[in-house]
Amino acid sequence: MRTWLTIATAIDRVNAWIGHAVKWLILGMTLVSALNAVSRKAFSISSNALLEAQWYLFAAVFLLAAGYTLQRNAHVRIDLVASRFTPRIRLAVEIAGTVLFLLPFALLVVIFGWSYFTDSVANREISLNAGGLPISPVKLLTPSWFALLAAQRVAQIVKSWAALRGELPADAPFAAADAAMPPGVTER
């Protein structure tokens, strides 16, 4: 179990690092948006490439941070039924739901998303908008999103299993993962 917990911690750290790295994309997105607005209003120059770059950055922030959001237990949930369960039953439901539903679906999306991306690269697909950007980078986000999300769910399963065995507290799988923070980074 120690080895699996080490793997879970490594996954936590990767998703924490990515979660903190994509925060910088928000600044980039804001600067691109401001540049596009200023160039359009002040110089009557508009750029589809800048608009698409803004959309790509937004997509990257939203999709690449999904594993980090799951790690922080910040996904939207409506626990009308699960909130009535004991912690052990909740852990078992989390494991079963992940194994039966999320992981198979994520595997399919990664497989088909990867071929969707490689087809785009092979065909040198570019946006149909005048001056648009290549599409393949944004298509890579789909399999990346599900790979990061699935990896984080595997880490959550490992922690849930350890909690069921009494090796971790019952709330450990969804407690704030401070240990997963990259060195020198603190949560704000």
Q: What angle do CA 147, 120, 112 make, to 5 degrees?
A: 40
* Residue-range definition of the domain harbouring residue 77: 2-176
pLDDT per residue of the chain (188 residues) written in tens, 0 to 9 = 889 999 999 999 999 999 999 999 999 999 999 999 999 999 988 888 889 999 999 999 999 999 999 888 887 766 777 778 888 888 898 899 999 999 999 999 999 999 999 999 999 999 988 888 999 999 999 999 999 999 999 999 999 999 898 888 877 776 655 444 444 445 54
pLDDT at position 181: 47
Domain assignment present for 187: no
pLDDT at position 176: 52
Kindly provide the b/e burial profile for residues 55-82, where b requires at least 16 CB atoms within 10 angstroms of the residue's own CB.
ebbebbbebbbbbbbbbbeeeeeeeeee
Domain assignment present for 48: yes
Domain assignment present for 53: yes
Q: Which residues contact 69 (CB under 8 A, 6 or more apart)?
A: 19, 75
Domain assignment present for 184: no
- pTM value is 0.81
Find tokens 């917990």 and name the residue: 5
Find tokens 């922030």 and name the residue: 61
Domain assignment present for 121: yes
Q: Which long-range contacts (CB under 8 A, 24 or more apart) does 115-120 make?
A: 116/142, 116/143, 117/142, 117/143
The total number of structural domains in the chain stands at 1
Domain assignment present for 10: yes
CA dihedral 143, 33, 44, 42 (to 10 degrees): -170
Domain assignment present for 186: no
pLDDT at position 74: 82
Domain assignment present for 47: yes
Rounded CA separation 61/28 (Å):
11
